């Protein structure tokens, strides 16, 4: 089976990152994670980042840089982690995709449950170097 491509949005305001609890229509509902989503055919990673953030939480972002790459725990997706400037707008979650949204520190995220192992690795190992 071919692995699909997806982006993960690392949106930061000061020392906090926007994370969501995946909503009832999302794959792996109930997990806390940064915003993420599949790339559509012909779409660049930066375009997918802007689209997914707008769809899930209503923010218009400016893509920054790709900072990491990982795989989902089931091996179905290659994840491309990108920073982005979230600007100053208010978070307006799509209720099907997002049950809850919070701006959290790395320490706060690491205390949340449930989270994916790959996301935990990002918050422990990669985020402190950004």
Q: Which residue has the higher pLDDT, 83 or 27?
A: 83
Report the chain's mean pLDDT, rounded to a whole number.
95
Contacts of 43 (CB under 8 A, 6+ apart): 51
pTM, two decimal places: 0.95
- Give the per-residue SS3 of 2-64: CCEEEEEEEEEECCEEEEEEECCCCCCCCCEEEEEEECCCCCCHHHHHHHHHHHHHCCCCEEE
Boundaries of domain holding 125: 4-129
Residue 99: pLDDT above 70? Answer: yes
CA 119 to chain centre: 9
Residue 2: pLDDT above 80? Answer: no
Residue 1: pLDDT above 70? Answer: no
Distances (CA, A) of 106 to 4, 46, 77: 27, 24, 24
pLDDT at 105: 98
pLDDT, tens digit, for every residue of 7-62? Answer: 999 999 999 999 999 999 998 999 999 999 999 999 999 999 999 999 999 999 99
Give the CATH number of the domain where residue 116 resides: 3.90.79.10
Domain count, the chain: 1
């Amino acid at each position: 089976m071919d692995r699909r491509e997806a982006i993960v949005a690392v949106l930061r305001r000061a020392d906090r990152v926007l994370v969501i609890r995946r909503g009832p229509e999302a794959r792996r509902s109930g997990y806390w994670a940064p915003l993420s989503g599949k790339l559509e055919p012909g779409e660049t990673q930066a375009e997918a980042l802007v689209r997914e953030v707008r769809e899930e939480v209503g923010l218009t972002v400016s893509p920054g840089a790709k900072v990491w790459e990982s795989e989902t725990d089931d091996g179905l997706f290659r994840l491309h982690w990108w920073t982005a400037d979230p600007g100053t707008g208010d978070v307006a979650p799509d209720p099907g995709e997002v049950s809850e949204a919070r701006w959290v520190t790395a320490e706060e995220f690491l205390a949340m449950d449930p989270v994916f192992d790959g996301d935990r690795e990002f918050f422990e190992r990669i985020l402190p170097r950004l």
